[in-house]
Amino acid sequence: MNRDDSRWLRNYRPGPPRTAQLVCFPHASGSASFFLPMSRALSDDLQVLAVQYPGRADRRGEPTVPTIGALADAVAEELAGRLARPTALFGHSMGGLVAFEVARRLEAQGHRLLRLFVSGCRAPSRRRPRAVELRDEADVLAELERLGGTDPRLLDDRQALRAVLPTMRNDYRAIDAYRLAPDAVPLRTPIHAHVGDSDPEVLPEEAEAWRGHTTGPFDLRTYPGGHFYLSSPGCDLASVLRAELSTGQRA
């Protein structure tokens, strides 16, 4: 691990000193390595850190965390001592909810964040009952095919699908159990929502509803593609993030 890594954070390509840092939160069953391409694209300008949840990759031997709140507690505690740089959070899918809850905790401690970027993630105020039930590897295969963005080699590997099943079950249960606290106040941090125009998980109005979760600026960007639009070769999300964070540092 890089010297800046911790149990929770991976720093694949250290960025320049005294620049902003972007902390990235992966999707359900995802690992920190999902953000390797983003780290490569941004490391000349920013420090990119990726969160490694327990129960996957190099933390496979650790028990998964059963709730969004418990994940947010642990990551917020880790990040609280790493905010000397201006900091923004980026979360994709389930990671959007975790990043949002981390932002809530850090703001409550008096920390200021540059931006919260939520990608492929419905606003907490727009819940949907989930029809997916993951009983076996066939269910995992069907769900991964529905969402798209998965390496075809994994879809053909039944042993790999069985290995992913426990983390997917845990993460989907965590998403289904998540409720925004009734006394939650909107963030002060600007929120930028990003969504694919054919995402089966997030309608544009469900992404637009993030507007109600901040008193700061909000915008919504739509891209061609589905739930994993950000992995499409033509998607230049990194340039959008670079421009937003450059503006945020000057503000």
Q: Is 231 a catalytic residue?
A: no
Rg (CA), the chain: 17
Side chain identity at 68, as an amino acid letter? I
User: Of 29, 31, 39, 93, which residue is the catalytic one?
Assistant: 93
Sign of the torsion formed by the C-alpha atoms of 54, 49, 199 and 104: positive
The catalytic residue positions are: 93
